[in-house]
Amino acid sequence: MDIVIEAVETEPKQLRLTAAPAQIEVIYDLGRLAKEVVYDVSVRRVEDEIFLNGFLDFTLRYTCARCLTEYDEENRQPLDLILQLVPEEQVPTEEQDEFILVASNKKTYNLASHVRDVITLGLPLKPICREDCQGLCSQCGTNLNENNCDCHKERIDPRWDALKRISG
C-alpha cells in the first residue's frame, strides 16, 4: 500500500489502494483478515505536506470466543494522515503523533504499518459471533447454538463437596 510521493499534486486526487492480508500482517489469535484491505483516499499536497484523508474497508474473520464458530465482520474505519517531507537527516527513528516525517528524497511511502494500527486498535478482546451466543457445553462440547445436549448440568458449589460426602 504505497503512496507515490512525486505523483501527489496540489489538486486533490481520489485513489483506491489495496493490500492483500499477507501484506498487512495483523497478528491476532482469534481472527485474521479475510479479504484484501481497501483504502479509498483523497490525496493532496500543500508545499512539503501530503494530506491523506479516507476510509479503510476490510473484513475480519473471527473465531467466536464462546462457540468457536468462525464468522466474518465487515469494517469501515477512517484513516487520516499527514506526511511531512523533510531532509533525510531530520527523519526521527520513531514516529511522531501528528505528522509522519518522511525523507524528501523518498519516492514512495508505505502505509502498511498505519493500516495495521487502525485494524489492530479495533480488535475485540473476546469476539462473540452474536449477542445471544450460548457457547459450547462444558461437558460434551456440543455447540449449544445448534443443538441441545443431554448432559447433566447440576451446579453445585464445590465448597459443599465435603458435606455432600458426609451425608452420603
pLDDT tens-digit readout, 79-89: 999 888 888 77
Q: How far is CA 87 from the centre of its chain?
A: 33
Q: Whole-model pTM?
A: 0.74
Percentage helix, strand, coil for the chain under 3-state DSSP, each rounded to 5: 20, 40, 45
What are the C-alpha distances in Å from 102 to residues 8, 50, 52, 78, 165? 14, 10, 14, 22, 72
Residue 96, pLDDT > 60, answer: no
What's the whole-number average pLDDT of the chain?
86
Residue 161, pLDDT > 80, answer: no
Which band of pLDDT confidence, cut at 50, 70 and 90, is reported for residue 42?
very high
Q: By mean pLDDT, which of 58-62, 106-110, 147-151, 153-157 is the weakest?
A: 153-157
Which sequence spans correspond to the domains of the chain?
A: 2-133, 134-168
Share of the chain above pLDDT 70, in %: 90
Average pLDDT estimate for 79-101: 74
Contacts of 166 (CB under 8 A, 6+ apart): none
